[in-house]
Amino acid sequence: GESVGLHLPTLSVQEGDNSIINCAYSNSASDYFIWYKQESGKGPQFIIDIRSNMDKRQGQRVTVLLNKTVKHLSLQIAATQPGDSAVYFCAEKLSGNTPLVFGKGTRLSVIA
Amino acid sequence: DGGITQSPKYLFRKEGQNVTLSCEQNLNHDAMYWYRQDPGQGLRLIYYSQIVNDFQKGDIAEGYSVSREKKESFPLTVTSAQKNPTAFYLCASSPPPGLAGLNSYNEQFFGPGTRLTVL
């Protein structure tokens, strides 16, 4: 498949370990944040989201942490699996129906 | 089977020609979006439409045009004025805020993408 990002930051993790992917967002007025997973040659898939009135939200094997003080968002993946290998994007938006603004992305490589 | 479809998956164009990328959704979403993705970069917004017969420019609208005559369709035309059109194009849609469901706020749902190559 095609590469979606040849020069992205890369995180290499051993299978079974936990992964932490970080993102610095740009607008202190943003009130909604979302993480997407994108496999090569495919469209992004929703992983988890969080509103600005929360600092933590958990899903299945994933946790998103939001630190508004330093405008930082992180995605934690527990027990990382080979199928988690992909490019991960964070995105932010202001309130209302404004479009998402995407970060550059991080490539996660899982070593079996 | 609900979702967003984009066609074609691969598209080749000769330099100087216009080309139109299709995006259709049957999710009954009001808002639709077009993004461009280049290697080493995130998604950049080209155009978006919050309602039928209305659309707004995004960050990189030059050389592109759109129409929104129907709720379910948001085609993107890449014109000959776009200097570097080779890229992966992604369409997305989203429901109105407040109607996205109990566990989500305003997620954007993406199509599978169209890879455009200018020869």
Q: To the nearest whole number, what is the mean pLDDT of chain B?
A: 90
Cα B67 to Cα A61, B41, B72, B88, B114, distances in angstroms: 40, 26, 11, 20, 18
For residue range A4-52, list pLDDT tens digits in order.
444 678 999 999 999 999 999 989 999 899 999 999 989 999 999 999 9
Cα–Cα distance measured from residue B107 to residue A49, given in angstroms and rounded to the nearest whole number: 8
Give B101→chain A minimum CA distance, Å. 12
Residue B99's pLDDT is 54
Tokens read off for B76: 């993107």
For residue range B44-57, list pLDDT tens digits in order.
999 999 999 999 99
The gap from C-alpha B81 to its chain's centroid, in whole angstroms, comes to 18
Instruction: Please provide the DSSP assignment of A25-54 as one string.
Output: -S-TT--EEEEEEE-TTS--EEEEEEETT-
Residue of A nearest to B91 (CA): A43
Of A2, A7, A101, the CB nearest to B40: A7
Of B44, B48, B110, the CB nearest to A43: B110
